[in-house]
Each structure stands twice: as structure tokens, then as C-alpha cells.
Structure 1
Amino acid sequence: MSALQRGIKRLAQERLLLSFALLALVLAVADPRPFADYHRWLQLPTLGGLLGLLICIQGIRDSGLVQHAAAVLVERAHSLRGLALLLVSTTALLSMVLTNDVSLFLIVPLTLAIGRISNLPVMRTVVLEALAVNAGSTLSPIGNPQNLLLWQFGQLSFLQFSQAMLPAFVIMFVLVALLALAWMPRGRVELHADQVDGHAVSTSQAVLSVGALISMVLMMEHGHAVLGAVLLLVPFALLERSTLARVDWLLLVTFAAIFLGLGHFAELGMVRHALDGLNLDNPLTLYASGIVASQLISNVPATVLLLGHAPDAAALAVAVNVGGFGLAMGSMANLIALRLAKQPHGGRLFHQVSIPFLLVCAPLVYLAYRWLG
């Protein structure tokens, strides 16, 4: 099979990419817009940040650092439930300070490495980690893009925003922890010694990749994600060209298609008209609208869509963060977790857990926010 045939076969398997590329193309033909609109929908800073993270994490993987950390962690773990709770708690904590996607880019590869050398149920753990980043990032104004947007729009202090989100976070995280305890199997962690990677860590590549990750996070924090990604390409192209070849470029193209398709859809006249008919002054209506919109178009576009109509930025933040559960489309973090995991039937397992989780979580969070918020 030629390289072109392999490429076409792989592209044919990218159903999410093909679906949203088709949506973007149909909308472009049916409802032509100025180039500036497409540029805005493409969200280049987000794509630049994603590219930079993909390069850094692939470099860390190639250095052997993740495999080494996995072996050390497994050797010190006592039970599967304890190990899962450690990974889930770490994921939630990191998502508060490094954002939900950065947290997943760090923890999911570590989880996969642990799964290769132990009896840890990988896909169960990844599903829990996806739920954990949605929970953990809820508390922090910088935990995810929708919080950052609503924090700035609502003109709240860092502490005021976190206090408003605290009841929702507590409910979410407690539910994730309880699910981890109930769902993970009993028993001790078993180390598969024959699967442990005995190769030494490439110190130079590890230093380059970790340094690149730190610089990329700082560039993203200061609004220079695209520049940061471009600057990363230079040292990796010169020193670690094979790492660039192994980057998941199709994931980047998939997100570009999602941004174009959903961005255009959210600004269709009929969608705007439907929003005008909603009474978002009613707290329950606002809450339900944020969750439903997130399920349909993901929580970041849903935030943009409802922002101008919602009277309470904090209440909208609660709604769209809860909307990150349920369907994988609810949050881009879910899609990243599933893509990084690349496990058979991963999407099916995710939805078997995440949809019931949303149905339990949503009413509890609403009651907690209304009574304690």
C-alpha cells in the first residue's frame, strides 16, 4: 500500500474531522461570510496553543520521561483505587492552574504508560480524568477558556469568581471521586516487569521538551500562543525532527474544522432568533440553556453564543461547566482525552458513564448553586 493510500485510509477513519469539515463547507456555500468572520471563528490562539502542546508532549514521550515516571509511580502504588484517585486528583488540581487541556496532555500519556506496565484499567481511568478536568477547571477563572472569558466579562475578582463556583466544584469533584471508588476494581497494582521500558531517559530531549512546555504555557498565559508555537518549531525542526513527524497533526485539523463549523452555526440567523425568544433572566432557563447549548456545540462556543443574552456571568459559567459533562462534544477536553487515549470503543465507554453523570450532577449542582452561591 502506497503512502497516499495509507493517508486516504487514515483520513477516512477521521469521522469527526470529516463531519465538521462538511458542516463548515455546507454553511460556507449556503451562508457566505466575509473572510474576517472565518478568521475569528478559527480561533488561531487556541489552535496555536494546541499545536505547541502537541509538540511538547510528543517530545516528552519520545524522551522516555513519561515511561520512567510511570514505572516509579506504579512501584510505589498500593491499590488500583488509590492509584486512580491519585491520578484523578492530580488531574483536577493541575486543571485549576494549567487549564484543562494542558492537564490532560500531561496526565493521559502518563496513564497510558502506567497501563502498559500494570493492570490499571486504562480507559476507565482516562474517562475519570476527563470528568476530573471538567470538575477541577470549574473552580478557577483560568481553568478553561469559558471561565476566562466569563471572568473578564463579569468583572469579578479572582476570589469572587472562585467563591461563586465553589459549590458547583465541590459537587462535581465529590461525584467524580465517588465514581472512581465505585468503578475501579478492588485489588493491588500488579507490575508487569517484562513490559517496563528499561531504556535510559534522553536527558537532552527531556530538558528541551519540558523547557518548551513551560515556555509554551507562559506564552499562552500572556496571549502569545501562536508566536510560542512558531518559536517551538525551530528547535524541534533542527534537533528533533522525528518528534514533529509523530505529532498528531490530524487532531489540529479536526479542531480547526470544529471551530469553523460551530462558529458559523452559532451565528446563523435562525439560531440568533431562537436565543432572542429565551427568557434567560430566569435562573433555571439560563442553566438549562447553557447545558443544552454545550451538548450541541461545546461549552466554549455556547458561552460565546449566550454571553450577550445572559444577565449573570457566574450563573452562565456554572451552566456551561456542567455542560462539559454528557456528550463528548460538551467540552473540547473530552475530545482531547479520547484522542490521546486511542482506546477501542473509548467513545462508547465515555458516553456510558458521562451521560448518566450529567443527569445526576446537573440537578445537584443547580440546587447547591441556588442555595449556597
Structure 2
Amino acid sequence: MPFWIKRLAHEKLLIGFALLAIVLAIADPRPLATYQRWLQLPTLAGLLGLMICIQGIRDSGLVQHAAAALVERAHSLRVLGVLLVTVTALLSMVLTNDVSLFLLVPLTLAIGSISNLPVMRMVVLEALAVNAGSALSPIGNPQNLLLWQYTHLPFLEFVLKMLPAFGVMFVLVLLLTVAWLPRGRVILHAQDIDGHPVSASQAILSVAALVSMVVMMEHNHAVLGALLLFVPFALLERSTLQRVDWLLLATFAAIFLGLGHFTELGWVQRGLESLDLENPLTLYASGILSSQLISNVPATVLLLRHAPDPMALAVAVNVGGFGVAIGSLANLIALRLAKQPRGARLLHEVSIPFLLVCAPLVYLAYRWMG
């Protein structure tokens, strides 16, 4: 069996939403322009541009080296945990939640192999940290990217509106980190962890490309920005383009097409209209509950056109990333990277109570300060 077929077989979300899109296209055909609207091309182009930049930063070794340097300065397990959680949250604001995990979880596994760090606890904390950190930034996760492109808010205005929710979530993650990790010292040698050489030229190119892509997206030129990125990377870093997660991009395209069509079916429209989404609490609860059932990116697509306040929806679906593993793709990625026994059980034992504590506190903070 060819490698790409084996890999495709593991992409259950892609297969499921692609089948939904195909079945609906056959059963309820629509004009081509409607499919183009559902496809959310500016959002997809923005996501592609960010993925290219992020893959370049990852390939350069810059983040791995910086993280290892931070780890070397830790004096205890709790300090190390706070450092890793903070770095993970900060990276997720710029490099997206899933890519931050691709960088930090392997580093965490390496640290665990030469120290007494409880690896699976740390991975669970990092999954919570990326969900909290990425909530602050318009480019931190796919649902924020979609909502940012939809609202056309300036970058900093989006950040300010999400700040109260982020503040509550991140403080709770830090408190959990200090309470859950054991006391004790840790001895680390950064040279044993960071074996990746740093390519300065690739790092400079990728960081410059990331800044230019964000500027292009803020001025509603995401498609042009993504196209322009291909030139320098195709000429100078072609291997980076080959390592971009194209199946992830295809998954979001399938989600947009499948759910875009699904939400415009007559009976679904009537069901959504029966919800009083003008009520802030109803909108908040709907965003969280739908995230628990179908993940927060599809939940955003499902509710977006019916939500009178897109930023309130942003808060809801970001909080909905906690709880069950499917609430956020980042949770599933963390579990897949860690490959630890009983990892899913430990995640749920922590993440579900975390959601129950976090949800009311974030709602109060957003309503009071938002």
C-alpha cells in the first residue's frame, strides 16, 4: 500500500468531512459560487501562508535551541514546568497551537528521558497551555484565524478583546502546573537535548515571511500573501514546502465545505434559528457544547453566521477546546505525539474538571471586562 494512502487512512476528520461534503453535493447541489463562498479561500490562504512560515521556523532549529537554553536554567521540576508551559503558550500565539506542540512535546519527551520530569503530566499541561495561549492571538489557532478574517478587526483590537479570557485561562494553567507537578530538583544538560543545528538564514527568512504574512492578512490580502511566499521558499527552501502538512490544510477545506453546506440545509437553519444566540449565555454555552461534540473549529463554522457577536463566539469555542479530547485538535495531537500509556485517560481526568472551573470564570471575566 502506498505511503500516502496509509497516511490518509489515519486522517479521520479529513475523510469524515470530505464524505459529508460529497454526499451533500450529490443530494443537494448548489451553484459553484456558493461552494466558493463556503470554502473560505482567504482563511485557507492565510492558514497556508502561516504553515509555510511556521515549518520554516521549525526547520531552522531556532525554537528548539531557545527552549533548550531556557530549560537549562530551571532549578526545580515546578520551575521547569512553569517555563515549559509559558514557552508553549507564548509560541502558540505566534506559531499556532498544533505547531507549538510539535515543537515542545518532543522536547518534553527528551527531557523526561534524562530527568525525573513526569512526562505525561507535562504533556497534558502543554495541551492546556496551547489552548489558553493560542486564544489570545488572531493567528494562534484556526478558529481565531477564521473569525479574524470574518470580522476584519485590527490585529491588536482582536488581542485586546480576547485578553480577559486568555488571562483567566493562562492563570488557571499556571496554578494547575504548580499544584500538580511534584516538588524536587531537576538536573539537565541542554547539550543532551538540543542536537538540532540552527540555520540563521532559514530562521531570518521564515520570521520575515511570518511578519509579512500577518501584515498582508491584516490588510485583507491573504491570498496574495500566500502566493508571494511560494517564490522565496521554492527558490531557497524547497524542502520546507515539502514538509508542510498539506493534509491538515485539506482537512480544513473539507470542514469548511462540509459544514458550510450542512448549516444551510433548511432543517439545520430552523434549528439554529430556534436558539436564542442573541442571549450571551446561550451563545457561550452553544459554542462550548458544540466544541465538545464536533471540535472547536467545526463548531465555529457551524455557529458563525448565526452568532450576533463573533468575538463572544471566539471566547466560547476557545474555552470549548478544554474538556474532552476532541474539543481541540491540539489535544489529539498532544496525545499522538506523547504515545504514553493511559494518556487519554489522564488528559480527561484533568481537562474536564478544568473546563468546569474555567468556563464560568472566563464568562464572568469577558462580560465584566470585554
Of residues 261, 264, 268, the one that matches 1:264 is 261
TM-score (norm 2): 0.79
TM-score (norm 1): 0.79
Question: In the superposition, relative to structure 1, how do residues 196 and 129 fare at CA in structure 2: closer, same or farther (>3 Å)?
Answer: closer
Of residues 199, 209, 216, the one that matches 1:219 is 216
Of residues 73, 77, 89, the one that matches 1:76 is 73
CA shift for structure 1 position 111: 4.9
Question: In the superposition, relative to structure 1, how do residues 311 and 20 fare at CA in structure 2: closer, same or farther (>3 Å)?
Answer: closer
Match of 1:344?
Answer: 339
- Residue identity over aligned pairs, in percent, reads 70
Q: How does 1:306-325 map to 2 (within 5 A)?
A: 306=303, 309-310=306-307, 315-325=312-322
Query: Secondary structure of the residue that 2:338 maps to in structure 1?
Result: coil
Of residues 179, 200, 204, the one that matches 1:203 is 200
One-letter amino acid of the counterpart of residue 109, structure 1: L
2:28 maps to 1:34: no
2:291 maps to 1:294: yes
Match of 1:12?
Answer: 9
- Which runs of 5 or more residues in structure 1 are unaligned? none
Moved more, 60-69 or 232-241: 60-69
Question: In the superposition, relative to structure 1, how do residues 210 and 313 fare at CA in structure 2: closer, same or farther (>3 Å)?
Answer: closer
Deviation by residue 1:61-93 (Cα, 9 ceiling, x = unmatched): 332323322331222222232233234334545
- Which runs of 5 or more residues in structure 2 are unaligned? none
Q: Aligned equivalents of 1:303 and 1:58: distance in 2?
A: 25
One-letter amino acid of the counterpart of residue 88, structure 1: V
Query: Secondary structure of the residue that 1:342 maps to in structure 2?
Result: helix
Q: Is the 8 A contact 1:70 1:111 kept in 2?
A: no
Q: Aligned equivalents of 2:118 and 2:67: distance in 1?
A: 14
Across the aligned residues of Structure 1 and Structure 2, the Cα RMSD in angstroms comes to: 3.7
CA shift for structure 1 position 372: 6.9
Match of 2:51?
Answer: 54
Q: Is the 8 A contact 1:84 1:180 kept in 2?
A: yes
CA shift for structure 1 position 273: 0.7
One-letter amino acid of the counterpart of residue 112, structure 1: P
Match of 2:99?
Answer: 105
One-letter amino acid of the counterpart of residue 199, structure 2: S
CA shift for structure 1 position 371: 6.7
Q: Aligned equivalents of 2:196 and 2:168: distance in 1?
A: 43
Q: Aligned equivalents of 2:61 and 2:96: distance in 1?
A: 19
Question: In the superposition, relative to structure 1, how do residues 114 and 221 fare at CA in structure 2: closer, same or farther (>3 Å)?
Answer: farther
Q: Aligned equivalents of 1:12 and 1:36: distance in 2?
A: 31
2:276 maps to 1:279: yes
Q: Is the 8 A contact 2:287 2:320 kept in 1?
A: yes
2:225 maps to 1:228: yes
One-letter amino acid of the counterpart of residue 36, structure 1: A
Of residues 228, 233, 237, the one that matches 2:234 is 237
Q: Aligned equivalents of 1:166 and 1:57: distance in 2?
A: 24
Q: Aligned equivalents of 2:138 and 2:54: distance in 1?
A: 24
